[in-house]
């Protein structure tokens, strides 16, 4: 049996040399899901039949398989807010139960074109609103590292599927940390590309100006490989950037000598977990030893990021989610006697609590008489935060911080108090507001749970954050920690 | 005494091949829900992409309406729940429209009145709802969703229902001249809502207004506004309060009926559309748009009056549409007297088009061939009377005037010696008429001319005939 965590390149080489086949990889993925997902619950739906059919289609074309792309024949999971024609897509919401999209998201099309095999749709917080995957309307997902803990969210299903070895990689979406935070909680790599680097076409929108799709993988190199496959301008997405896509693996040399690494005190809150603080400080020390230059910088406005985010993201969401009205698709309340009642009952019955909370906040923030006080001021704060980063990046190449102020919490621990839940994204949200790329790589344990190191880059400079993350990963060998942990668990 | 204050909101469909944010066709009259795709249907996850042609046409319209245009503008979302809106918001422009501060000049009673244009903005159309006659179901046709529109909002500068009609006619002509839109009100490619209020003359503050919807022709707009003006005036005379409300024009009674009061007004919660980048256009793009704007109806009218010496009435009839104006222009250029060309086009050509329900674009006689016919009158080859019958033959046979004249031997006799001989004979045969002419009865000469025409089968040049007859009789 091939261990998916050894990396996509190894799997590719095995496929090329014939020591394994796409069928074997698919079977292994399905077996792993069968074995583990009863407990973990990473998947909302496993489309094994579709996956097998697709594979047969590929195999029929050539007798002996020779991969044409690094991802050819590699199984993967999609977060359930990305559309794939003919495959149910619910955003983990009752309101979209049974919804079959009539088209395929650009990212899924690109992975299809590369030969990757979609195995299933991963669980998430409903409409990507949440930080623990407990807001799924179907069931919560467990953290594979320790199952009484949350996997983080909202891409908790995608991350858990990778962390538990069910798939070699998955795609998530990140609006305020939804890739990086669960990656940190589960001890894997999660990358949020620059806003506009990856097409959003086919991603069911939460907050359009913040959403970005990215890879969740076992290693930094895998993240680079997957990003390579999904990046680039798209005619279907006017906000996708017409910026050259470089070779994301080109700088994965382990050499970061002379790079300027910024550390901002604002990312280290007083209330943060002591273990996380120590792990991140140790990581900074590692980077220094590798020859990077550590520079103190300041980001004075990022402490307002959560406040701004929880006006802007709900405002956009209130509009984006208005189309789920029971008229054309999805759930429709049967208890309504007129149009207005159909709207309100459909939406009251179809949406979960957190989604309704955010729709209400967003509607309020945009209402006439309140727009200036809330939405407009939040936009101004967003500009200030963006300027903070611009200023900082005139002095440094990357900025490092903890991905989360504390490691994964227990299931049910924060569900009663949404604000405490929101605080878990305090280090990731500013990055979305600024539109920057950032990656989370595992940097050790605190209270026995994984800790994430966040590396933030300049606009469209994923190359450099991958370079730093890769050099760090090669030096600390978190894979060994992971192996030791899984042996211990057995 | 009260004065009337009217403002118009006009929606004009832009004549693009495809919708504003997706690739679906804009064809009118297709079976319901056949020109739709995931994007215009608002399927979860789709994104809009701006059709550049829509922007270009919108920009041209704003320029032709003398607006200041924005090089940097944006789209906004107008949020509302209704089944005609599959996204539950309309992509429109709120605080940064592509054009502002324009105007249209209209002519009222020989005076030019300038009607201000507040703004011109781009937006997408909504779907069309129809309701089951049994009242148990409603149906939505999404073909119209995403058809590109511009909304043109006038200043409250319009003072009468007639001015409103003139404004709309001029607006329509400008849009057609610029090839921005066909402006077919019957197909909904031009729609008009009107705001009207009354105030005592001399009062600065505006009175309470009502909004009139559902007017399907310019005549309806005029009739609706007249009705509403009288209704409001009567109410004010009775010291009744005008209620701010939306009223529907009812075609069968030519009156307006209350639809809903402003109390259930929407809060549309406008905010910048995050799925579309700002609309930033280059100087080159603007220059291209400007270059595509032809001579506009007002300019053409002025030129026709000035350069061709046409009466105002002729100029305004001939500039009603761009193809007609161009037809006249091309004809007039080739003849000696442009007024003669105007008479022919306004009379014979338009008359023929009206009876056959055809348009000038498909008219069988080109401007060049019509000019040739007129030229033949001007150089004395045929009389105007003969020309009228040649014109009919041209339409029937498709042949040129010259060929028809040759075939039918219609060349006018202007040869004095030939005509003199015939005149001699006519004088001998009609002594009574000759006596009358001598006695000063001018009418009698007409009878002699008639005889001459009979003798020559209408080919005699009437001027020459007149002259010869007078000479021979009076010596
Ligand atoms: Zn469409």
Tally Cβ neighbours within 10 Å of residue B421. 12
Tell me which residue in A103, A239, A327 faces B38 most closely, judged by beta carbons.
A103
A424 vs B285: CA distance, rounded Å:
48
Predicted confidence at residue A62, as pLDDT, reads 54
Closest residue in B to A207 (Cα) is B274
Inter-CA distances, A374 with A315, B32, B116, Å: 10, 42, 35
Class of domain A4-265+393-489: alpha beta
User: Pick from B93, B199, B103, B97: which is nearest to B155 by CA?
Assistant: B103
Per residue in A201-243, pLDDT (tens digit) is 999 999 999 999 999 999 999 999 999 999 999 999 999 999 9
Which residue in the list A5, A29, A41, A79 is annotated as catalytic?
A79
What are the residues facing B73 on neighbouring strands?
Answer: B279
- Per-residue pLDDT averaged across A79-104, rounded? 97
Predicted confidence at residue B265, as pLDDT, reads 66
Confidence check: pLDDT of A59 > 70: no
Ranges of beta strands (E only) in A124-259 are 169-174, 189-192, 212-217
Assess A103–B contact: CB distance below 8 Å, yes or no: yes
Assess A105–B contact: CB distance below 8 Å, yes or no: yes
Could you give the maximum distance between any two Cα atoms of chain A, in Å?
Answer: 70
Assess B380–A contact: CB distance below 8 Å, yes or no: no
Residue A187 parent element (H or E): none
The residue extents of the domains of chain A are: 4-265+393-489
Q: How many CA atoms lie within 13 A of B181 on its CB side?
A: 31
Dihedral of alpha carbons A30, A35, A38, A41, sign: negative
Predicted confidence at residue B261, as pLDDT, reads 67
B31-67 b/e with 16+ CB inside 10 Å = b?
eeeebbbbbbbbbbbbbbbbbeebbbbbbbbbbbbbb
Phi, psi torsion values for A45, nearest 5 degrees: -150, 135
Which residue carries 């906000």 as its tokens? A239
Tell me which residue in B41, B47, B271 faces A375 most closely, judged by beta carbons.
B271
Tally Cβ neighbours within 10 Å of residue A271. 8
* String of DSSP letters for A428-475: THHHHHHT--EEEEEEEEETTEEEEEEEEE-TT-HHHHHHHHHHHHHH
Contact call for A323 and B83, based on CB within 8 A: no
Answer for the pair A202, A196: CB distance below 8 angstroms, yes or no: no
> Predicted ipTM?
0.96
Phi, psi torsion values for A126, nearest 5 degrees: -50, 125
User: Pick from B209, B147, B109, B153: which is nearest to B13 by CA?
Assistant: B147
Chain B hits for A343, Cβ within 8 Å: 81
B416-474 fold:
Arc Repressor Mutant, subunit A (1.10.10)
| CA-based end-to-end distance of chain A | 18
**Which tokens belong to A120?**
């299933």
Tell me which residue in B47, B50, B86 faces A237 most closely, judged by beta carbons.
B47
Which residues are within 5 Å of ligand 1 (an ion), measured at CB?
A: B 22, 24, 37, 39-40
Chain A hits for B81, Cβ within 8 Å: 322, 325, 343
Mapping DSSP to helix (H, G, I), strand (E, B) and coil, where does residue B160 land? coil
Mean pLDDT of chain B: 92
Answer for the pair B102, B66: CB distance below 8 angstroms, yes or no: yes
**Which tokens belong to A108?**
């899924």
Chain A hits for B44, Cβ within 8 Å: 83, 89, 91, 96, 99, 101, 204-205, 323-324
User: Pick from A486, A325, A465: which is nearest to A393 by CA?
Assistant: A465
Top-ranked range on mean pLDDT: pick from A353-367, A406-420, B253-267, B424-438: A353-367
Assess A317–B contact: CB distance below 8 Å, yes or no: no
Predicted confidence at residue A63, as pLDDT, reads 61
**Which tokens belong to A282?**
């140790």
Pairing of strands B245-250, B210-215: parallel
User: Pick from B207, B193, B195, B198: which is nearest to B234 by CA?
Assistant: B198
Contact call for B269 and A367, based on CB within 8 A: yes
Ligand 1 centre to CA of B25 (Å) is 8
Per residue in B359-418, pLDDT (tens digit) is 899 898 999 999 999 998 888 788 888 889 889 999 999 888 888 888 877 777 777 777
Prediction pTM value: 0.91
Q: How confident is the model at residue B264 (pLDDT cuts 50, 70, 90)?
A: low
Contact call for A203 and B48, based on CB within 8 A: no
Predicted confidence at residue A54, as pLDDT, reads 84
* String of DSSP letters for B376-426: HHHTTSS-HHHHHHHHHHHHHH---HHHHHHHHT---B--HHHHHHHHHHH
Contact call for A328 and B44, based on CB within 8 A: no
Mean pLDDT of chain A: 95
Ligand 1 centre to CA of B24 (Å) is 4
User: Pick from A162, A168, A80: which is nearest to A123 by CA?
Assistant: A80
B171 vs B159: CA distance, rounded Å:
17
Q: How confident is the model at residue A403 (pLDDT cuts 50, 70, 90)?
A: very high
Predicted confidence at residue A408, as pLDDT, reads 97
The residue extents of the domains of chain B are: 2-287, 295-408, 416-474
Residue A419 parent element (H or E): helix A418-423
Ligand 1 centre to CA of B39 (Å) is 5
CA A198 to chain centre: 13
- B-facing residues of A in 375-394 (CB < 8 A) are 375
Tell me which residue in A203, A235, A238 faces B45 most closely, judged by beta carbons.
A203
Answer for the pair B269, B92: CB distance below 8 angstroms, yes or no: no
Predicted confidence at residue B382, as pLDDT, reads 82
Q: How many CA atoms lie within 13 A of B169 on its CB side?
A: 19
Per residue in A259-289, pLDDT (tens digit) is 999 999 999 988 899 999 999 999 999 999 9
Assess B49–A contact: CB distance below 8 Å, yes or no: yes
Ligand 1 centre to CA of A383 (Å) is 34
Assess A204–B contact: CB distance below 8 Å, yes or no: yes
In percent, how much of chain A has pLDDT > 70?
Answer: 99
Pairing of strands B148-154, B245-250: unpaired
Confidence check: pLDDT of A61 > 60: no
Q: How confident is the model at residue A490 (pLDDT cuts 50, 70, 90)?
A: low
B342 vs B358: CA distance, rounded Å:
19
Contact call for A319 and B269, based on CB within 8 A: yes
Closest residue in B to A318 (Cα) is B79
Helices B161-177 & B322-333 angle (0-180, nearest 10)? 70
Could you give the maximum distance between any two Cα atoms of chain B, in Å?
Answer: 98
Contact call for A239 and B275, based on CB within 8 A: yes
Q: How confident is the model at residue A349 (pLDDT cuts 50, 70, 90)?
A: very high
Query: Among this protein's residues, is A178 annotated catalytic?
Result: yes
Q: How confident is the model at residue A308 (pLDDT cuts 50, 70, 90)?
A: very high
Query: Among this protein's residues, is A440 annotated catalytic?
Result: no
Answer for the pair B68, B100: CB distance below 8 angstroms, yes or no: yes
Predicted confidence at residue A487, as pLDDT, reads 84
Dihedral of alpha carbons B48, B53, B54, B59, sign: positive
* String of DSSP letters for B191-230: EEEEEEEEEETT--S----EEEEEE-SHHHHHHHHHHHHH
What are the residues facing A400 on neighbouring strands?
Answer: A263, A455
Predicted confidence at residue B422, as pLDDT, reads 85
Per residue in B344-357, pLDDT (tens digit) is 999 999 999 999 88
Phi, psi torsion values for A307, nearest 5 degrees: -60, -45
Sequence-ordered alpha helix ranges (H) in B272-321? 283-291, 297-308, 312-318
Helices B161-177 & B297-308 angle (0-180, nearest 10)? 90
Contact call for A201 and B46, based on CB within 8 A: yes
Chain A hits for B86, Cβ within 8 Å: 323, 327-328
Contact call for A343 and B81, based on CB within 8 A: yes
Pairing of strands A169-174, A75-79: parallel
Chain B hits for A363, Cβ within 8 Å: 269
* Interchain CB contacts (distance < 8 Å): A and B: 99
**Which tokens belong to A72?**
């050819």
Which residue in the list A154, A199, A318, A440 is annotated as catalytic?
A154
Which residue in the list A29, A131, A137, A178 is annotated as catalytic?
A178
């Amino acid at each position: 049996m091939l261990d998916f965590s050894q990396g996509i390149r190894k799997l590719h080489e095995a496929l090329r040399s014939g020591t394994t086949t796409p069928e074997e990889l698919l079977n292994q993925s399905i077996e792993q899901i069968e074995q583990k997902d009863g407990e973990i619950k990473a998947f909302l739906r496993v489309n094994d039949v579709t996956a097998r059919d697709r594979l047969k289609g590929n195999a029929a074309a050539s007798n002996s398989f020779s991969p044409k792309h690094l991802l050819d024949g590699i199984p993967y999971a999609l977060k359930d807010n990305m559309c794939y024609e003919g495959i149910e897509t619910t955003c983990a919401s009752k309101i979209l139960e049974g919804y079959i999209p009539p088209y395929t998201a650009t990212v899924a099309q690109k992975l299809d074109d590369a030969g990757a095999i979609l195995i299933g749709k991963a669980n998430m917080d409903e409409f990507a609103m949440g930080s623990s995957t407990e807001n799924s309307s179907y069931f919560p997902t467990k953290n594979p590292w320790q199952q009484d803990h949350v996997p983080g969210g909202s891409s908790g299903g995608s991350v858990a599927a990778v962390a538990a070895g069910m798939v070699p990689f998955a795609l998530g979406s990140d609006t305020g940390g939804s890739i990086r935070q669960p990656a940190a909680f589960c001890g894997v790599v999660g990358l949020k590309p620059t806003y506009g680097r990856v097409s959003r076409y086919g991603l069911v929108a939460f907050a359009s100006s913040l959403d970005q799709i990215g890879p969740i993988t076992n290693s930094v190199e895998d993240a680079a490989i997957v990003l390579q496959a999904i990046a680039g301008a798209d005619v279907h997405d006017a906000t996708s950037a017409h910026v050259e896509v470089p070779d994301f693996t080109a700088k994965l040399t382990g050499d970061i000598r002379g790079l300027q690494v910024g550390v901002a005190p604002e990312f280290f809150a007083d209330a943060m977990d002591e273990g996380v603080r120590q792990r991140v400080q140790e990581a900074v020390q590692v980077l220094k030893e590798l020859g990077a230059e550590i520079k103190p910088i300041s980001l004075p406005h990022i402490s307002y990021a959560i406040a701004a985010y929880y006006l802007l993201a709900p405002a956009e969401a209130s509009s984006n989610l208005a189309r789920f009205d029971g008229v054309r698709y999805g759930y429709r309340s049967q208890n309504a006697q007129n149009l207005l009642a159909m709207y309100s009952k459909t939406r009251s019955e179809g949406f979960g609590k957190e989604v309704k909370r955010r729709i209400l906040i967003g509607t309020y923030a945009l209402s006439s008489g309140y727009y200036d006080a809330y939405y407009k001021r939040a936009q101004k704060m967003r500009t200030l935060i963006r300027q903070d980063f611009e200023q900082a990046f005139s002095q440094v190449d990357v900025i490092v911080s903890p991905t989360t102020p504390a490691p994964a919490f227990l299931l049910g621990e924060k569900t009663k108090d949404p604000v405490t839940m929101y605080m878990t994204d305090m280090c990731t949200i500013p990055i979305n507001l600024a539109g920057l790329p950032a990656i989370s790589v595992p940097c050790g344990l605190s209270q026995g749970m994984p800790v994430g190191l966040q590396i933030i880059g300049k606009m469209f400079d994923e190359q450099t954050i991958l370079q730093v993350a890769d050099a760090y990963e090669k030096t600390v060998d978190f894979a060994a920690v992971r192996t030791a942990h899984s042996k211990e668990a057995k | 005494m009260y004065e009337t204050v009217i403002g118009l909101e006009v929606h004009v469909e832009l004549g693009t091949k495809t919708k504003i944010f997706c690739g679906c066709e804009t064809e009118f009259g297709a079976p319901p829900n056949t020109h739709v795709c995931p994007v215009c249907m608002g399927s979860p996850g789709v994104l809009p992409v701006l059709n550049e042609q829509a922007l270009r046409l919108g920009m041209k319209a704003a320029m032709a309406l003398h607006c200041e245009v924005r090089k940097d503008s944006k789209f906004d979302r107008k949020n509302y729940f209704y089944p005609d809106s599959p996204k539950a918001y309309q992509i429109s422009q709120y605080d940064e429209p592509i054009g502002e501060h324009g105007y249209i000049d209209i002519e009222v009673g020989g005076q030019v009145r300038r009607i201000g244009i507040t703004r011109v903005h781009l937006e997408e159309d909504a779907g069309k709802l129809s309701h089951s006659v049994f009242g148990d179901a409603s149906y939505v046709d999404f073909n119209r969703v995403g058809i590109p529109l511009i909304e043109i909002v006038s200043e409250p500068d319009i003072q009468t229902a007639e001015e409103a009609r003139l404004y709309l006619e001029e607006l329509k002509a400008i849009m057609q001249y610029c090839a921005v839109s066909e402006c077919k009100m019957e197909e909904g490619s031009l729609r008009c809502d009107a705001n009207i209020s009354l105030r005592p003359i001399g009062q600065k503050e505006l009175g309470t207004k009502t909004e009139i919807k559902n007017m399907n022709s310019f005549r309806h707009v005029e009739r609706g506004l007249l009705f509403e003006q009288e209704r409001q005036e009567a109410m004010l005379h009775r010291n009744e309060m005008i209620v701010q409300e939306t009223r529907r024009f009812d075609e069968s009674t030519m009156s307006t009926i209350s639809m809903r009061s402003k109390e259930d007004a929407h809060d549309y919660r406008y905010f910048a559309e995050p799925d579309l980048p700002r609309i930033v256009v280059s100087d080159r793009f603007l220059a291209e748009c400007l270059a595509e704007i032809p001579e506009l109806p007002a300019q053409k009218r002025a030129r026709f009056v000035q350069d061709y010496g046409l009466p105002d009435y002729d100029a305004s009839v001939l500039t009603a549409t761009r193809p007609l104006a161009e037809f006249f222009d091309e004809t007039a250029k080739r003849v000696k007297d442009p007024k003669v060309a105007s008479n022919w086009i306004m009379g014979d050509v338009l008359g023929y088009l009206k009876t056959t329900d055809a348009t000038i674009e498909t008219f069988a006689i080109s401007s060049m061939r019509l000019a040739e016919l007129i030229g033949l009158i001007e150089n004395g080859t045929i009389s105007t009377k003969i020309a009228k019958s040649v014109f009919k033959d041209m339409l029937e046979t498709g042949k040129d005037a010259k060929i028809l004249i040759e075939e039918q031997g219609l060349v006018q006799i202007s040869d004095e010696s030939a005509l003199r001989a015939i005149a001699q004979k006519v004088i001998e045969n009609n002594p009574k008429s000759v006596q009358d002419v001598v006695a000063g009865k001018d009418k009698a000469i007409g009878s002699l001319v008639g005889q001459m025409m009979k003798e020559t089968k209408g080919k005699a040049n009437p001027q020459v005939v007149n002259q010869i007859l007078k000479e021979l009789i009076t010596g």
